[in-house]
Amino acid sequence: MLLNNFQATLEYAKELDKEDSLKHFREEFYLKPGSIYMDGNSLGLLSKRAERTLLESLEDWKEYGIDGWTQGNHPWFFMADELGKKLAPLVGGSAEEVIVTGSTTVNLHQLVSTFYKPDGIRSKILADELTFPSDIYALQSQVRIHGFDPDTHLIRVKSRDGRFLEEDDIIAAMTDEIALIVLPTVLYRSGQILDIKRLTDEAHKRGILIGFDGCHSVGSMPHSFSEWDVDFAFWCNYKHLNGGPGGVGGLFVNRKLFGKMPGLAGWFSSNKEKQFDMEHTLTPAHSAGAFQIGTPHVLSAAPLIGSLEIFTEAGIENIRQKSLKINQYLMDLIDNELADMGFVIGTPREDARRGGHVSLEHKEAARICKSLKENGIIPDFRAPNIIRLAPVALYTSYEDVWEVVQILKKIIIEKQYEKFKNEREVVA
């Protein structure tokens, strides 16, 4: 018997699969026979529906040429807003507050360009030292654009242990010098969820705007951005939402901030009725659509149309429930089967504090990952010592998880990893 009433046998894993109400969605995805995909938190797999809507969009181009902007299966002129409407329930925004556009880093630049308004002593940006590097590079460059030195004007809250952040430490750093806060919803290494509502409330008490990077949470758990009064958020759609490599990202802007001139404007920031008047004075859309810049990347957004159908059918609450259970099962099996093998689980144990992946630390992590791949398991490695494993609610079975843990055990017992160098690949 394991910790949470789970059992360690293959038969038990099969029982869990039988009871899984989401199990039929697995058939919708292109899973490679003989391989177990545990990297949905870096790039989700292709579904047949995503493939279908991409092909339909190509068909529209073939059939309609320029008229594809207003005709066909998925008229391109309205695609970003239509996708925003479908994504809105997953982030807890209204249809007007969400748009599918840009990429995570571009959207971050857009939102910071719009909402970072240094004013006297209130001139600094607050982030944290565990954030994904692209966000830090973007924030550093935004600070520089305003003529400040990132060393003094980009404050990074420290982690006490290198894994997690304490909300108390973040709140303590919300001084009257802070103009804007940008934090992750879920940390990309440890999978820790930050208390978004508490942080938002505390920021607002101090008159500070706050935005979140939702890359590692959107598609794996529900959000209530509007209800929590978050000012803005941005994310990619290629991880848990399976929108395809380099697929178009998303952003949320709280409706109380509508009407602001976008920091980075372009003709797709326009009110759609006015756009083709071709005036030199921009009339921005009175919605998150105002934060688009230029022509949408139609073919990179099209797979998301099909993918979101699946999320609507499955229900994000059900997805979260399975995600919590299957990740718990993975952690319990690791505790049970891999004890005394040098593994440390670097993900919070409490449901309310963990996202959709498990961070497994080991000093030989880089070469264990290579060994896993040789055994048909796709994890990812994050330097210096993390094996990230993401059992995904829509397509990972409990049997897959059981199998992964057995293979990990074999790799360690047989020292299979020793034939590889303990260093990362180019794309790790």
Under 8 Å CB-to-CB from 149, ≥6 apart: which residues? 143
User: Known binder of ligand: residue 229?
Assistant: no
Contact call for residue 42 and ligand 3DJ (CB under 6 A): yes
H-helix or E-strand containing 183? Answer: strand 178-184
188 near ligand 3DJ, judged by CB under 6 A: yes
- Exactly one of 28, 60, 202, 213 binds ligand PLP (CB under 6 A); which one? 213
Window 108-147: contact mask with ligand 3DJ (x via CB under 6 A):
------------------------x---------------
| Contact call for residue 86 and ligand PLP (CB under 6 A) | no
In a 10 Å sphere around its CB, with 0-12 CB exposed, 13-18 middle and 19+ buried, how is residue 55 labelled?
middle
Residue 184 contact among ligand 3DJ, ligand PLP, none, beta carbon within 5 to 8 Å by kind: ligand PLP
Total residues found in the chain within this entry: 428
Cβ proximity to ligand 3DJ, 278 vs 427, nearer residue: 427
285, 271 contact by CB (below 8 A): yes
Query: What is the DSSP secondary-structure string of 193-243?
Result: BP-HHHHHHHHHHTT-EEEEE-TTTBTTB---HHHHT--EEEE-SSSTT--
Indicate whether 215 belongs to the interface with ligand PLP (CB under 6 A): yes
If contact means CB under 5 to 8 A according to the sort of partner, which of ligand 3DJ, ligand PLP, none does residue 113 touch? none
Contacts for 413 with CB less than 8 Å, ≥ 6 apart: none
Which residue lies nearer to ligand PLP by CB, 187 or 334?
187
d(CA 375, CA 405): 12
- Which of these ranges, 79-87, 209-217, 295-303, 373-381, lies near ligand PLP under the rule CB under 6 A? 209-217
Stretch that binds ligand PLP, among 12-20, 109-117, 130-138, 264-272 (CB under 6 A): 130-138
Residues of this chain that interact with ligand PLP (CB under 6 A) are: 103-105, 132, 134-135, 184, 188, 213, 215-216, 236
| Binding-site ranges for ligand 3DJ (CB under 6 A) | 42, 132, 188, 427
